[in-house]
Each structure stands twice: as C-alpha cells, then as structure tokens.
Amino acid sequence: MSNAEETSLDYALRGKDWQVYWLLLKNGRGLTVREVQKALHFSSPSVAQHHLEQLRGLGLVQKQEVTGQYLLVSEVKIGILRHFVKLGRLLFPRYFFYAVFSTAACILYVLFFMEKFGGESLFIILFGAIVAMIFWYEAARVWSLRPF
C-alpha cells in the first residue's frame, strides 16, 4: 500500500467507521448489520449499514449476498493499528509483549541469577524495573487509544 493510499484510508477511517472496522477486525468473522448495531449500540440498523457500506466502498469489507454478513477483506495497519498485534481474535498493544518480557527478565534475575545484594545488583534491578515500568505505561497508553 502506497503512502498516499495509507493517508487517504487514515483520513477516511474516523469515528464510527473506525469503530465498525475495529469490531470486524477484533471479531475475526463476518457480522450482520444487526450484530454490528447491537455490539456498538447504534441507534438503528441503518446507521450500522451506512458505516459498513462506507467500509465496503473503501475496499476493506465485502458483503456476502447469501448470509448478509460483512467480512473483512483486508487488514490495514494505519493509525493506532500500527501499535497493535493480532493473536487469534485478540488484539494486544505491541508494548505489552515488551513489558511482559522485561518484567519476567527482572524477576528471573532476582530469583535465579542474583548471588548477593550489592551495588551492581541494585543497578540491574532498578534498571530492569524502570524499563518494565516504561513498557507497561506505553502498553496502557496505547490500549486506551483503541476505539472502544
């Protein structure tokens, strides 16, 4: 995808269109208009259909004529999605994995590798704790930016 296409998609995916896209991405399966309406608490099915058709016009969603479900055709990494990793049906902030790794490394050092408590050990523990806190903060910040 070219830079111009990314910019136009980033501009087009705003507000409720963004929420509908996120729901389809997170769900991992096709959804009907009513399912989208109920999940996002839209006032009527026509609002959900409008936003699904907007996504269809952008080429991100395809409608199955038989079932009436809308399926995600392509996943785009624009906006806040650049900072998320999808595992199955779950979306995690990328920093979450760094936070878990740095926290585990710090704990493992204290439990298995620290021979005696001294200046060097204190430095390693403080450094590891600060790095882990930064990653946890960033993971929480990115998580708070998701559409819902």
**Tell me: the pLDDT tens digits for 8-34?**
787 778 889 989 999 999 988 999 999
Q: CA end-to-end span of the chain, whole Å?
A: 26
**CA-to-CA dists, residue 90 to 25, 28, 33, 37, 85, angstroms:** 9, 9, 22, 21, 8
Ramachandran area for residue 15 (φ above 0: left; ψ -120 to 50: alpha; else beta): left
In this prediction, residue 1 has a pLDDT band, given cuts at 50, 70 and 90, of: low
Residue 127 in this model has a pLDDT that exceeds 70: yes
Give the Cα separation of 40 and 120 in Å (integer): 52
pLDDT of res. 3: 75
Q: Which long-range contacts (CB under 8 A, 24 or more apart) does 132-136 make?
A: 132/99, 132/102, 132/103, 132/106, 135/95, 135/98, 135/99, 135/102, 135/103, 136/95, 136/99, 136/103
- 81-112 pLDDT, tens digit per residue, is 889 998 888 899 999 999 999 999 999 999 99
